[in-house]
Amino acid sequence: MDYKLEVVIVPVADIDLAKAFYLDRMGFRLDVDYSAGPDFRVVQLTPSGSHCSITLMRNQMAPGSQKGLHLVVDDLEAARKELADRGLAVGEPFHFGPEGQTPGLHPERASYGSFLQIDDPDGNVWLLQEVTDRTPRG
């Protein structure tokens, strides 16, 4: 049996503002924008190349509470430039070393070793992670 994660809920205060951010700044594809009255709206977007989508849900009690979602890329520097070219404020690359979180790309550019942070308008936190080798370990 395969179990596929295909949708993650991202709580936001303003669906239109969040939709514009994910479409225009992050470059996600719009899949669904459905409303069933003034209190129910579903906006589903998918990152380029992903099988997992996000659904923006208005939640006045929890906007910005989603932390640590990972978007995996094969070239962190190229992804950073692409997002910055779209006008997004993108964090600096970092990796984890003996002293903990350390500025800069992983020294060997090890797969799964380099990250950078992006915050959406509500404060939901995303990490971009560089993965270049998906060879199973252990």
In a domain, 136, yes or no: no
- Helix, strand, coil percentages, rounded to 5, for the chain: 15, 40, 45
DSSP bridge partners of 10: 56
In a domain, 88, yes or no: yes
Q: What is the CATH number of the domain that holds 62?
A: 3.10.180.10
pLDDT tens for 113-124 read: 999 999 999 999
In a domain, 1, yes or no: no
Is the Cβ–Cβ distance between 102 and 123 less than 8 Å?
A: no
- Domain hosting residue 19, numbered range: 7-130
In a domain, 71, yes or no: yes
25, HSE (Cβ side, Cα atoms, 13 Å) = 15
Is the Cβ–Cβ distance between 12 and 122 less than 8 Å?
A: yes
Closest CA to 56 of 108, 92, 15: 15
How many domains in the chain? Answer: 1
pLDDT tens for 39-81 read: 889 999 999 999 999 999 988 789 999 999 999 999 999 999 9
In a domain, 35, yes or no: yes
In a domain, 135, yes or no: no
In a domain, 50, yes or no: yes
